[in-house]
Amino acid sequence: MQILDGNLVSKATKEALTLKVAQLKTQGKKVPHLAAVLVGNNGASETYVGAKVKACEEIGYKSTLLRYDDDISEFKLLEAIEGLNNDPDVDGILVQLPLPKHISDEKVINTIAASKDVDGFHPISVGKMVQGLSTFIPATPYGIMLLLKHYNIDTAGKQAVVIGRSNIVGRPMSILLSANTNPGNCTVTICHSHTKNLKELCLSADIIVAALGRPEFVKADMVKDGAIVIDVGISRVADATKKKGFALKGDVNFAEVSPKCSFITPVPGGVGPMTIAALMQNTYKACEDKNFE
Ligand SMILES: NC(=O)C1=CN([C@@H]2O[C@H](COP(=O)(O)OP(=O)(O)OC[C@H]3O[C@@H](n4cnc5c(N)ncnc54)[C@H](OP(=O)(O)O)[C@@H]3O)[C@@H](O)[C@H]2O)C=CC1
Ligand SMILES: Nc1nc(=O)c2c([nH]1)NC[C@@H]1CN(c3ccc(C(=O)N[C@@H](CCC(=O)O)C(=O)O)cc3)C=[N+]21
């Protein structure tokens, strides 16, 4: 069993970007600028946005954090996004999800200029991804592809089961794994809450991507020997023995499942840091496109 170390690969990805940014600077070119928008004060969102801003600082990107109270009107938020769209210095825009209930995710996502959509959630980005064209790939599935690539894992012809069909993780993951690329070329089954024979499907899978958001849902009796298991889930579970009062749990019961695997990602330190690295990669791309205009 080998652990796929997201911290390590994320660090290597960020270091490569750091060198590229230093080069841009010596050439007198524009450095990437990411604008992150955070509405409200959800603890987990604060952590993730904080990690993204910190990654920008490490690499040498410019970053701007726009914070709004959770009672901001939808109109005002859309106006703020338009402002970022029209700011020539801003290369990438990220609006942290989830948003308060009175704000439509769809309207927000559609308002972000496709050329600055570093989350890859805009319908134009999604359409291009489905067609295999160059575009921004949603950071979590992109990070997983970078991780598989780093470890040279041969996925061609393998049976992959993706648990979860959200627009931000499961659905794009299924598209990427089935694409004619390396990694890719898998035969993909996508599962959701209506799936009836999930256990059997998982048992026949060479690759399982768990992205359903249920702590330790995937157990040893659902995994075949030698499987590759990617744990996307990240839930905060109350735990009085922890300093922060909670523990982070993945969607996979790591203790029981890991001995059966050929490769597995831990939580934390697996997919999470790769998500940040992939976002940094997308932000570089957004700026690069501009430097060549
Ligand atoms: N590490 C990282 O970088 C990231 C981690 N995450 C984490 O990944 C997890 C999933 O996130 P996200 O995709 O946004 O979640 P969503 O809640 O949007 O989607 C969950 C999906 O899982 C399906 N599902 C739920 N319960 C079951 C079940 N019992 N059996 C089969 N399918 C089920 C749902 O089905 P249906 O469609 O039918 O409702 C849905 O498609 C969360 O823990 C989240 O915190 C998310 C983003 C990034
Ligand atoms: N517009 C938008 N884009 C996103 O990319 C986006 C989002 N909204 N909303 C929420 C999810 C979640 N997400 C994570 C990012 C980093 C870690 C991460 O760094 N995790 C660390 C642990 C961090 C901790 O200590 O909590 C790890 O797994 O090692 C996790 C999850 C991005 N998301």
Q: How high is the pLDDT of residue 293?
A: 57
pLDDT in tens, 186-225: 999 999 999 999 999 999 999 999 999 999 999 999 999 9
All domains of the chain in start order, with CATH: 28-114 (3.40.50.10860), 139-272 (3.40.50.720)
Dihedral, 192, 196, 199, 203 alpha carbons, nearest 10: -90
Residue 231 CA to ligand 2 centre (angstroms): 13
* CA-6 nearest atom, ligand 2: 29
Answer yes or no: is the ipTM higher than 0.85.
yes
How many angstroms separate the CA atoms of 65 and 178, rounded?
35
pTM listed for this prediction: 0.98
pLDDT in tens, 21-32: 999 999 999 999
CB 183 within 8 A of CB 148: yes
pLDDT in tens, 21-70: 999 999 999 999 999 999 999 989 999 999 999 999 999 999 999 999 99
How many angstroms separate the CA atoms of 124 and 114, rounded?
7
Name the residue among 248, 171, 181, 246 with its Cα closest to residue 211. 171
CB 258 within 8 A of CB 227: no
Q: What angle do CA 158, 275, 153 make, to 5 degrees?
A: 25
Residue 163 CA to ligand 1 centre (angstroms): 8
pLDDT at 168 exceeding the cut of 60: yes
Mutation choice for ligand 1 from 166, 190, 237, 252, CB with most ligand atoms inside 8 A:
166
